[in-house]
Homo-oligomer: A and B are copies of this chain.
Amino acid sequence: MVDILHKVGIKSSSPNDVYQALTALDGLSAWWTTTTRGEGKVGGVLQFRFGAGGFDMKVLELQPGKRVLWQVIDGPQEWIGTKVSFEFKQGGEWTFVYFKHQGWKEPVEFMHHCGTKWAVFLLSVKSLLETGKGLPGPTISSSTAGNDAVSFPAR
C-alpha cells in the first residue's frame, strides 16, 4: 500500500471555512470541478465529473472543523476502494490541511499523475479561501496541460 500525502497552509482565521469548502457542494464546485453533484452528508455519495471521467465518493466521516473522509466507490480502477482524507489544524492565522489519498495497491504511473494533480487542486482550495476564486476543473488547467491532454483516464 502506498499513499499520496500533501500539506497546504491556508490563511484563514478558522478551520471551519476550509471545512465548508470541502463539504458543501458550492465549496467543492469552486475548487475541484464545477460539475459536482450528490449528497454531502455521512453515508451520501458525491459525484465529481471531469468531461467523460470522474469519481464517486462515499462520505464516511465528517468532523466539523477537524476531518473529512471519503471512500472512492466508482472511478478509475486504481482508485476504487481507496480513501481520501483531509485533516485540519489551526496554527495562528493559518489553517493547515493534511491530505492523504490512501490504499493504492501499487505505485503505478497513474499515481505519479494523481500526486501532482492533488497538489494543484489543494492549491486551488487555498486560492479559493484566500482570494475568493479557486481553479476548478473540468477545464484543463495550464499547470498540468500535458498530463491531462495525454493521460487523464476516461471513466
Contact = CB atoms under 8 A, between A and B. Distances in A.
Interface string A2-16: 111111111100000
A111 to B, nearest CB: 6
Contact of A94 (B92, B120, B149): B149
Interface in A18-73: none
Contacts of A123: 116, 120, 143
Contacts of A99: 112
A122 interface: yes
Contact of A122 (B11, B100, B116): B116
Nearest to A110: B7
Contacts of A119: 6, 115-116, 119-120
A150 interface: yes
Contact of A5 (B11, B98, B100, B112): B112
A11 B147 CA distance: 10
A88 interface: no
A146 B125 CA distance: 13
A107 B147 contact: no
B7 A94 contact: no
A6 B109 CA distance: 9
A96 interface: yes
Q: Pick the 5 closest A-B CB pairs, nearest first.
A: A9-B146, A119-B119, A7-B112, A94-B146, A5-B112
